[in-house]
């Protein structure tokens, strides 16, 4: 929806375009280079600024916001701000989250003084266009705007790239341009329709259907790109039409409701539950849709490369045959049409799949463990949005039943510890669903001040900090023998000093509860259920030796050292665009 006034500025033009994309929150740390843009925001009827405590928090918030609303935006200042946010934007690039990075740049006078007299402008590293060079590596389009008359075309070009490729983009605007005259958008942004190579698509689908007809134990493996490209309903229809059972990646967890018929669980390689691993290993055809292939799931690639169908927006691969011109959306739609017939019961998995066991009874004074915690939170998280940080709790959370599509968020491809609390800011702004965060104490210490942002904007997130005073995931990956012997000591660099989480919550203005036993956990969740005006930090105290069962089982199942050994054809490489 465009503004009716004919006069405008560079700032108002950009704001209009952000509003057009459905963005209502601009995450930022105020800086002088972007003050002109921030000064214009109060004139917007829809877009508001959300001030975070540091730039990486803003990037994490915009990432989560984009997962829910389609697009997110972050605003910062040159050098110190943009480079501080870089890790969060790199994660958004890898996980295909379309975040718009708006960077205020030096004025023309500042540039002239540095070029002619060597007077470095504020936050300069010395070389010119440092931020542009860096961000070009983690965006699909980047532009520097030094003239007001260039703003409309360059802004539109970059935003269209964001819409086309569903990945981050970078817009740098000189600080002296924000208030300069600029006409409002003349027409809506319109993404060109992709040309379909129907011959390649038909050949690809024919080969896929032939493979499927010859398979006795086929299954679907749903990935995160189905969510990023808005193909949730398309995938649900494919499941219904084909009658095939399906698993998801951890990044693709809850791409459709996990109550959907045919859902078997999350497959994340050796960290998956034993019954899911057994089913996937017995499959004679795996159809991976929008799935990022990382070393966490390298086992299945090493074992089943020749009998795997892999479709993503970078193309499709059937065994060693690559169809570079076939897009994910067209493949899913085409396969659904080819398979329209009465649903075939997924009987082959019935014997292999273990039934969900009822939660065992425990005394109220039973010490909490990872398994006990995640066995007793499913009812509490129902109707809320789970956000799991990188760490032991990430893999423990994979088994949580999520009944709503999109009800689970993790950064399980890039895996930057500390993502979750900043992401909770963005998720809470993006929708009415309450975020429930599971974060290890190591990851929490990466950015605890994000709790104050939740307090400032009255966002009632539930932050469950796993307090075991050890870098558990690092200990597991580096020296898992610590978890196999009661006498073993942790590596010294993985031991954390104690924190007073109650005092920390009080300092930020959040509610607080502590849970060492099952009874205390129940009371803490009961307290959290009645908190609606601010976040609550639940201090979940666990023994340092405790580890989720799914992770303990992975100790004996090492990943293949050389995934590509013996392959005659290329793995379908992820597109940078």
| pLDDT at residue 566, as a whole number | 36
- Which of 216-230, 290-304, 342-356 is predicted least confidently? 342-356
CA distances from 493 to 454, 475, 477 (A): 31, 9, 13
3-state secondary structure of 527: helix
| pLDDT at residue 7, as a whole number | 72
What's the mean pLDDT in 203-226? 95
Are 141 and 158 contacting, i.e. CB atoms less than 8 angstroms apart? yes
Is pTM beyond 0.75 here?
A: yes
- The CB density around residue 327, as the number of other CB atoms within 10 Å, is 20
Residue 292 pLDDT level (bands cut at 50, 70, 90) = confident
For residue 201, which of 363, 347, 21, 333 has the smallest C-alpha distance?
Answer: 333
| pLDDT at residue 177, as a whole number | 97
Are 167 and 139 contacting, i.e. CB atoms less than 8 angstroms apart? yes
Residue-wise pLDDT for 401-421, tens only, equals 999 999 999 999 999 999 999
Residue ranges of E strands in 91-248: 99-105, 142-145, 169-174, 218-222, 246-248
Residue-wise pLDDT for 436-469, tens only, equals 999 999 999 999 999 999 999 999 999 999 999 9
| pLDDT tops 90 at residue 511 | yes
| pLDDT at residue 312, as a whole number | 87
Residue-wise pLDDT for 110-166, tens only, equals 989 999 889 999 899 889 999 999 999 999 999 999 999 999 999 999 999 999 999
Question: Which conformational region is residue 443 in: left (phi greater than 0), alpha (psi within -120 to 50 degrees), or beta?
Answer: alpha
Separation between Cα atoms, residue 339 and residue 194, nearest integer Å: 24
Are 326 and 201 contacting, i.e. CB atoms less than 8 angstroms apart? yes
| pLDDT at residue 564, as a whole number | 42
| pLDDT at residue 340, as a whole number | 86
How, if at all, do strands 99-105 and 72-77 pair? parallel
To the nearest whole number, what is the mean pLDDT of the chain?
A: 91
* Two structure tokens written together for 340: 């329209």
Question: Terminus-to-terminus CA distance in the chain, angstroms?
Answer: 28
Q: Report the largest interatomic distance among the alpha carbons of the chain, rounded to a whole angstrom.
A: 77
Residue-wise pLDDT for 31-72, tens only, equals 999 999 999 999 999 999 999 999 999 999 999 999 999 999
| pLDDT tops 60 at residue 295 | yes
What's the mean pLDDT in 218-229? 95
| pLDDT at residue 1, as a whole number | 42
* Two structure tokens written together for 535: 């976040």
| pLDDT tops 50 at residue 562 | no
Helix, strand, coil in percent for the chain, rounding step 5: 40, 15, 40
Residue-wise pLDDT for 530-559, tens only, equals 999 999 999 999 999 999 999 998 887 655
| pLDDT at residue 270, as a whole number | 84
Separation between Cα atoms, residue 87 and residue 85, nearest integer Å: 6
| pLDDT at residue 557, as a whole number | 67
Separation between Cα atoms, residue 168 and residue 95, nearest integer Å: 10
* Two structure tokens written together for 241: 């039409």
Are 392 and 548 contacting, i.e. CB atoms less than 8 angstroms apart? yes
3-state secondary structure of 80: helix
Bridge partner list, 174: 105
| pLDDT tops 60 at residue 23 | yes
Q: Could you tell me where the DSSP H helices lie in 70-118?
A: 80-84, 86-94, 108-117
């Amino acid at each position: 929806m465009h503004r009716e006034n004919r006069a405008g500025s560079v700032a108002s033009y950009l704001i209009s375009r952000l509003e057009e994309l459905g963005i209502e929150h601009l995450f930022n740390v105020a800086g002088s280079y972007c003050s002109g843009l921030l000064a214009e925001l109060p004139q917007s009827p829809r877009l508001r600024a959300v001030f975070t405590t540091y730039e990486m928090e803003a990037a994490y918030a915009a990432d989560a916001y984009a997962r829910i609303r389609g697009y997110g935006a972050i605003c910062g200042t040159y050098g110190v701000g943009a480079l501080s946010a870089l890790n969060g934007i790199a994660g958004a690039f890898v996980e295909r989250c379309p975040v718009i990075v708006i960077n205020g740049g030096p004025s023309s006078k500042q540039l002239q003084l540095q070029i002619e007299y060597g007077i470095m402008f504020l936050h300069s590293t010395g070389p010119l266009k440092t931020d542009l060079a860096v961000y070009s590596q983690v965006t699909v389009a980047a532009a520097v705007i030094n003239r007001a008359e260039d703003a409309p075309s360059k802004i539109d070009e970059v935003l269209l790239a964001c819409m086309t490729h569903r990945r981050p983009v970078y817009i740098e605007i000189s600080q002296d341009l924000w208030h300069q005259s600029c006409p409002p958008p003349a027409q809506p942004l319109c993404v060109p329709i992709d040309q379909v190579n129907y011959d390649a698509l038909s050949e690809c689908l024919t080969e896929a259907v032939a493979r499927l007809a010859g398979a006795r134990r086929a299954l679907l493996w749903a990935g995160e790109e189905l969510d990023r490209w808005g193909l949730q309903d398309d995938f649900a229809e494919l499941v219904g039409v084909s009658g095939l059972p399906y698993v998801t990646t951890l990044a693709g967890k809850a791409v459709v409701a996990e109550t959907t018929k045919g859902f078997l669980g999350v497959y994340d390689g050796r960290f998956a539950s034993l019954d899911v691993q057994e089913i996937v290993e017995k499959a004679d055809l795996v159809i991976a849709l929008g799935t990022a292939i990382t070393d966490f799931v390298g086992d299945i690639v090493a074992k089943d490369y020749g009998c795997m169908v892999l479709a993503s927006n970078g193309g499709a691969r059937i065994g060693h045959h690559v169809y570079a011109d076939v897009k994910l959306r067209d493949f899913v739609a085409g396969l659904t049409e080819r398979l329209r017939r009465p649903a075939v019961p997924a009987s082959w998995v019935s014997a292999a799949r273990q039934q969900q066991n009822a939660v065992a009874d425990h005394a109220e004074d039973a010490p909490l463990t990872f398994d006990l915690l995640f066995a007793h939170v499913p009812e509490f998280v129902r109707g809320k949005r789970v956000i799991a940080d990188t760490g032991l709790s990430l893999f423990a959370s994979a088994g949580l039943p999520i009944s709503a599509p999109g009800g689970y968020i993790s950064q399980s491809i890039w895996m930057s510890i500390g993502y979750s609390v900043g992401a909770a800011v963005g998720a809470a702004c993006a929708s009415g669903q309450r975020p429930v965060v599971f974060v290890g104490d190591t990851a929490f210490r990466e950015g605890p001040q994000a709790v104050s942002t939740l307090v400032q904007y009255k966002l009632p997130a539930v932050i469950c900090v796993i307090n075991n005073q050890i870098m558990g995931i690092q200990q597991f990956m580096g020296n898992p023998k610590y978890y196999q012997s009661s006498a073993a000591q942790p590596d010294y660099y993985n031991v954390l000093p104690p924190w007073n989480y109650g005092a920390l919550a009080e300092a930020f203005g959040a509610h607080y509860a502590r849970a060492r036993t099952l009874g205390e956990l129940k009371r803490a969740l009961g307290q959290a259920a009645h908190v609606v005006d601010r976040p609550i930090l639940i201090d979940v105290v666990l023994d340092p030796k405790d580890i989720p069962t799914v992770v303990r089982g992975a100790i004996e199942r090492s990943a293949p050292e050389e995934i590509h050994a013996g392959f005659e054809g290329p793995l379908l490489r992820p597109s940078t665009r």
